[in-house]
């Protein structure tokens, strides 16, 4: 095998791998997950982001990226506001709420007590 044929073969293999990876789209295991603008990820260390600012009328989606069940309750631990309460959000599941009125909305995990804030402009 000549040096030129090895180079051409490497180019073809690289192109094939690139094509395969691009075809995998968002399910590509080699690409990092990217949190979308109106999403809050629930993870072992809390909510990501801890504070999210959105416009009135925005639906915020909490996605459980952890291995435990979590809840999203409005208010603070020991002082719920009862504006919203999620179902049990199992690992890999999500829950959404639409914020129609401007204001600052604290929330927490009703199981673990971790806190976050939604700011609606």
CA distance 107 to 103: 13
**Higher-pLDDT residue of 24, 98:** 98
- For the segment 71-91, what is each residue's pLDDT rounded down to a tens digit? 999 999 999 999 999 999 999
Fold of the domain built from segment(s) 39-120: Immunoglobulin-like (2.60.40)
CA distance 29 to 49: 23
Q: Are 59 and 97 in contact (CB under 8 A)?
A: yes
- Phi and psi for 3 in degrees, rounded to 5? -60, -40
Q: What is the reported pTM?
A: 0.75
In the structure, what pLDDT confidence band is assigned to residue 33 with cuts at 50, 70 and 90? confident
Domain residue ranges of the chain, discontinuous segments joined by +: 1-30, 39-120
CA distance 42 to 60: 13
Which residue is listed with tokens 């309750």?
73
């Amino acid at each position: 095998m000549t040096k030129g044929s090895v180079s051409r073969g490497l180019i073809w293999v690289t192109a094939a791998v690139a094509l395969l990876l691009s075809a995998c789209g968002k399910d590509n295991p080699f690409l990092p997950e990217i949190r979308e603008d109106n999403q809050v990820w629930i993870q072992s260390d809390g909510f990501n982001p801890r504070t999210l600012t959105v416009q009135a009328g925005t639906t915020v989606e909490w996605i459980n990226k952890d291995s435990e069940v979590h809840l999203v309750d409005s208010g603070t631990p020991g002082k719920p506001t009862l504006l919203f309460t999620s179902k049990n959000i199992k690992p890999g599941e999500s829950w959404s709420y639409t914020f129609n009125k401007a204001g600052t909305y604290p929330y927490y995990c009703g199981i673990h007590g971790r806190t976050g804030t939604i700011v609606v402009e």
